[in-house]
Structure formats: C-alpha cells, structure tokens
Homo-oligomer: A and B are copies of this chain.
Amino acid sequence: VHDLEAGARLEVIGRVEGCFDERFGTPRQPGLTPDARAELILLPPYDHPDLLRGLEDCSHVWLVFGFHRNPARRWRPTVRPPRLGGNRRRGVFATRSPFRPNPIGLSVVRLDGLIHEPRRCGLRLRDHDLVNGTPVYDVKPYIPYSDCVPDARPPAGFDVPPRRRPVVFLAEAEAGLERCPGGFRALVEQTLSLDPRPAYRGEDPGRQHGVVLMGINVRFRVIADRVEVVRITPGEHATCS
C-alpha cells in the first residue's frame, strides 16, 4: 500500500513554453484557440524520447497540470463560474474553476509533433489553454473509446461552448500586426473573441485592457458587445491588464 493514501507528492515532469504570457487572456478551456501554440519541455529525468515512444500516432493528449498562477487565496466550497455570468454560485466540484482543494487542471490539447533535439525533448501542442510556465505532472494519450462521452450531460449552463464576440482591428492595431509573426492575427482574434475580462464589471464599458500574447502587447476594449483591438505593439515588453 502506497503512501498516496495520505496524499500525493507530484513531481513536475515538464513545463509549458507557450503563447499565453499572463493569466489574464489565457482561455478558460482548451479547444477554442486553434492557433495557440506551445511546447511542453520535459525536465530531467523525464526528458528522454523513450518516454514518448508511441505518441507519434496520437492526435490529442491529456495534460494534468498545476494552476501555478492562481492568486494566493484559499479554495472556497462554492465558486462563481465566469460562464454563468459570475453571479451564480456552484459547488467547486461542479465546476472546472482553478480555485479548488487541489489546484490541478486537466486539459485535452492537440499534439502537433514531438521535440527530439539534443537537450530539448518534449511535445509540440496546439489549441491549448495553458499559461506560460505551467508545471505539468502527467501526459496521457487521449483514447476516444474511453474518454469521449458524446451524450454526457454537463452541469446546467455548460452545454455549449462560450459565446464569441466579433473582433475588429483598428488602424493602429493593423499597423502593428505587420511587424508580428504570421498567424498572430488569428491568435488575437480567437483569444479576444472569448472576452477575457472578469465576469464582474462595475466599470466603464469602453475601458482599455491589455493582454500579452507571444510576448506582444495587445490593447483592446469592448464596446457594444464587439471587441475592438486598439493597439498591437511588438517589441514592447511592458505587461499590463
């Protein structure tokens, strides 16, 4: 009998290096931002290609990871999921909130290939929801016949993907995009269409917010249910929110 009975000590097997630099702006679920890329870089002693043998065939993996950027506060028995507008309480075990008794997350992400370089071993990921630096505790292959339950009934309010808002790029943002890597527009559009703002907003409707994607500052505001990208400033390293 293992000492898991009293509790488990998990080792970090790898760390995420990806496009979401801050907690604010990182999608709340995977599968919503197909152009979001990341690498999971394995740490010693787990950084050997042998551990990944057989994943070449595989399109999706589960990651078990830590919500390492949670603000320091204790879990509560109930939470207010952003999906429900932020004003309805649900039991923490009836939600996927990061504020839980054990702050571990579970995401299925698209596997885009394996990294087998000298001193750099890991997985190329896509369509993820992991903030930069996320510690990962386990990788498991996604097995549809046991993991996919199409007729499962989720808790009320979680039956459809979150609503998308239209995203428009203002002139200054368009100018900034020209100095950004290819695919950056799609990443901005997918990320901001989900409206990353917190659910409680007793604030000016046109207030500017900022997210940092791939190290690039993106300023936006939400007006009349539409997201306006105000400015994109590659090369500037300030963080903001």
Contacts and interface: CB of A to CB of B under 8 A. Distances in A.
Interface string A1-29: 11011111111110000000000000001
A180 interface: no
A224 interface: no
Contacts of A90: 53-54
A124 interface: no
Given A46-B101, A50-B91, A4 B66 contact: yes
A92 B51 contact: yes
A108 interface: yes
A72 interface: yes
A108 B144 CA distance: 12
Contacts of A160: 145
A149 to B, nearest CB: 5
A96 interface: yes
- Complex copy number for this chain: 2
A21 to B, nearest CB: 14
Interface of A: 1-2, 4-13, 29-32, 46, 48-55, 57-62, 64, 66-70, 72, 77-78, 89-96, 100-104, 106, 108, 133, 135, 137-156, 158-161
A9 B6 CA distance: 10
Nearest to A81: B54
Contacts of A101: 11, 13, 46, 138
